[in-house]
Amino acid sequence: MRYIIVGGVAGGASTAARLRRLDENAEIIVFERDDYVSYANCGLPYYVGGVIPKRDSLFVQSASGLRQRYNLDVRVKNEVTEVDRTSKTVKARDLKSGKEYSERYDKLVLSPGAYPFRPSVSGIDDEAVFTIRSVGDSDRLKSFIQENKPQKALVAGGGFIGLEAAENLINLGIDVSIVEMQGQVLPPFDYEMAALVGEHLKKKMVDLILNDSLVSVSRQGKNLAVSLKSGKEIVADMIILSIGVRPDSSLAKKAGLDIGAGGGIIVDEYMRTSDPDIYALGDAVEMMHPVLGRPVAVPLAGPANKQARIVADNIVLGDVSSYQGSIGTAIVKVFGLNCAITGASGRLLKSSGIDFVSSITHGASHAGYYPGASMLSIKLMYSPDNGLVLGAQIIGQEGVDKRIDLIASVIGRKGTIYDLTRIEHAYAPPFSSAKDPVNMAGFVAENILSGKVRIIYWDDVENYRDDSLIVDVRTPFEFRAGSIDGAVNIPVDELRGRLGEFPKEKRIIIYCAIGLRGYLASRILMQKGYNVFNLSGGYMTYISAI
């Protein structure tokens, strides 16, 4: 058998290695148009910033290493330009010599990845404008920084890679402006969670410019003059483009394979394309999202590597393994703040017409009496009918990764908020609390669905202000330090003796710092017959989001 793989980075190299472990006698050819195979492109921003000091640390394997260990025919700087499905051949070009040639295949695997989006902006091809997608990209960027000693950089895009780039540039002593087209950083997150990150960035002296975009780039001596849609102009020494990626599906499209609405290659649960002898995986494909119920592209390394194993198994062993789709579990570090997401955001659920309830909880990352605990914020999305967990977002300094992984595993097996309340976790004071923040998020969701509390969201307060009494149940000291306009202060511990101050004919909006005291006050007032709503996430969420 002869297997041909197009693309030799994460998905392609993993597929090739697994194929060899399953079939020692097969001929396996890997085409990679770049200079390198099997490297960790997720580590590139940290290599640029010096956190990863050795370039060789990025490489899982070299082309020669793959040849020697796995007996693979690895052809770097060779690009597949055409697939003839009738004759089952690919046409390739040696990018060094220019020679064109063809190779026959029995099974073909497409793993071309994705390419960074470059906006149609004049001057965008200047030598001081960079992307961070490949080893070559990072080499050019690192050389530019070493040779030119830039003082000011503009990062276009406030997503995962953009924020990682900004942090690493600041660690090198370079001032950074981030320009983001949307009204928040981390566009996959919901606004009120991303707002926590935006405030953190400002504290770290990042010049954050939201609701704006690049219009033109022009050379101004040794500097770049960047004009924005708002009319603002920024002078910088360099620009990093991090405006997202697009599936590289041009080869598949040319071959007549089915392409999805988002531009990715459509595959089934066995990772087969519309041609049964051609498989595809990684950043180039679209698959059914288990929560949204529609095909989406999920450009992440974890899914690509898992898909690679499934592709190889199905090619050699038949359709023995299926991929259940990816719920987009991801995490990013932003100046010591860790931001994680899984499943669907509230915005995606709304645009997909999926009914949901959300709640926000803030709690300590480990037992409060043990030194070093920090705040952990969790937003949970779930079905109002059966409590099915649909998505989650977590922001914090400690323990974010293990909590998002817990919730992701519940979503993956179609679990509910009631499963969250029952999760058994490893507990000792340095690591968690007896009731973990994930348990607490489940408890709060259970209280909401069972009717023990009614909630209101931060962006609804103004809509209900005219016919509501807003009550701050924190201490007078906390109230004086900052409060919602028009609120009255009735501390929760005084509430039972001051019930006469609550009008029965009005809606009562209760809030505290993070929601717990508000819940206690709500329980008292609800059982006394008042029409009361607790502000989800408390004052902490409200003041960050407004």
Opening angle at CA 436, ends 431 and 441, nearest 5: 145
Q: Which element (helix H / strand E) includes 481?
A: helix 476-481
- Of 136, 154, 48, 132, the C-alpha closest to 95 is 136
* Cα–Cα distance, 93 to 103 (Å, whole number): 11
CA dist list (Å): 461 to 350, 470, 535: 20, 9, 8
DSSP string, 250-261: HHHHHTT--B-T
Quick one: CA torsion of 8, 11, 15, 16, rounded to 10 degrees? 10
SS3 216: strand
Residue 57 tokens, joined: 């640390």
Whether the CB-CB separation of 215 and 229 falls below 8 Å is answered with yes
Buried b (16+ CB within 10 A) or exposed e, 33-54: bbebbbbbbeebbbbbbeebee
List the catalytic residue out of 40, 42, 181, 375: 42
- The residue type at 201: L
DSSP labels, 69-90: HH--EEEETEEEEEEETTTTEE
Please answer whether residues 411 and 291 qualify as being in contact, where contact means their C-beta atoms are separated by less than 8 angstroms: yes
Q: What is the pLDDT of residue 167?
A: 97
Nearest residue to 295 via CA among 305, 285, 304? 285
Cβ neighbors of 493 (< 8 A, separation 6 or more) are none
Per-residue pLDDT of the chain (546 residues; tens, 9 = 90+): 999 999 999 899 999 999 999 999 999 999 999 999 988 889 999 999 999 999 989 988 888 888 999 999 999 999 999 999 999 999 999 999 999 999 999 999 999 999 999 999 999 999 999 999 999 999 999 999 999 999 999 999 999 999 999 999 999 999 999 999 999 999 999 999 999 999 999 999 999 999 999 999 999 989 999 999 999 999 999 999 999 999 999 999 999 999 999 999 999 999 999 999 999 999 999 999 999 999 999 999 999 999 999 999 999 999 999 999 999 999 999 999 999 999 999 999 999 999 999 999 999 999 999 999 999 999 999 999 999 999 999 999 999 999 999 999 999 999 999 999 999 999 999 999 999 999 999 999 999 999 999 999 999 999 999 999 999 999 999 999 999 999 999 999 999 999 999 999 999 999 999 999 999 999 999 999 999 999 999 999 999 999
**CA–CA separation, 92 and 104 (whole Å):** 11
Query: Tell me, what amino acid is at 403?
Result: R
- How many angstroms separate the CA atoms of 144 and 174, rounded? 13
Active site residue 339: no
Query: Residue 63 has what pLDDT?
Result: 85
